[in-house]
Amino acid sequence: MFLLAGLGNPGREYAATRHNVGFMLADRLAEAGGVKFGKSGSALIAKGMVFGAQAVLIKPQTYMNLSGQAVAEFVSFYKIDAGSLLVFYDDCDLPLGKIRLRKDGGSGGHKGVESIISALGSKDFPRLRLGIGRPANLPDSANPDGPELKDYVLTPFTCEEGVIVDEMLGIALDAVKEFMTHGIDVAMNGFN
């Protein structure tokens, strides 16, 4: 069984924001598997066959910075081993539209991933980073009034960016399928 965890923030006001691209991929996966989300514990969950394998999809409802609570809850309940967990989330260090699979590693400063590492007591789990880009005008000594990164991730995609995100989510769907079918190493070779 696989546990597929998309990270984001609950609530209508965050639904279309950059920080919720993990939730967007979870919705695509649920649609591909013909499963529906319902509330259970600290997450919205959808269970069923996805790409020919038994899977539990979760969208933590704990807000991004506490994602580890929900992920650990379902890892424990379903007795998921590290290799069968896939966490997907926004990454501002990747250009918009790019994806990267990793077998394990640190958080890269992502608070949701930090929370998961802390809750699981391990950084040894696969993850799929979804590129949202970084604004060119972040505050620095030359531009002290630029937008803060924390504000940027809570803004919606523009119409032009939405087209790129839609394509990225399609590629990410294929990457998740490859991960579930052939494992993280093969998926990394095919999509990184």
Instruction: Give pLDDT tens digits for 34-59.
Output: 999 999 989 999 999 999 999 999 99
User: pTM score > 0.75 for this model?
Assistant: yes
pLDDT digits (tens, 9 = 90+) for 127-145: 999 999 988 766 555 555 6
Per this entry, what is the length of the chain? 192
In the residue annotation, 19 being an active-site residue is answered as: yes
Pick the catalytic residue: 18, 19, 59, 127? Answer: 19
pLDDT digits (tens, 9 = 90+) for 86-129: 999 999 999 999 999 999 999 999 999 999 999 999 999 999 99
Closest CA to 97 of 192, 24, 167: 167
Residue given tokens 């969950």 in the structure block: 45
User: 119 pairs with which residues across the strands?
Assistant: none
Can you give the residue ranges of every domain in the chain? Answer: 2-191
Both tokens assigned to 160: 């032009």
Checking if the pLDDT of 146 tops 80, the result is: no
Closest CA to 23 of 54, 64, 56, 55: 64
Biggest alpha carbon–alpha carbon distance for the chain: 53
CATH class of 2-191: alpha beta
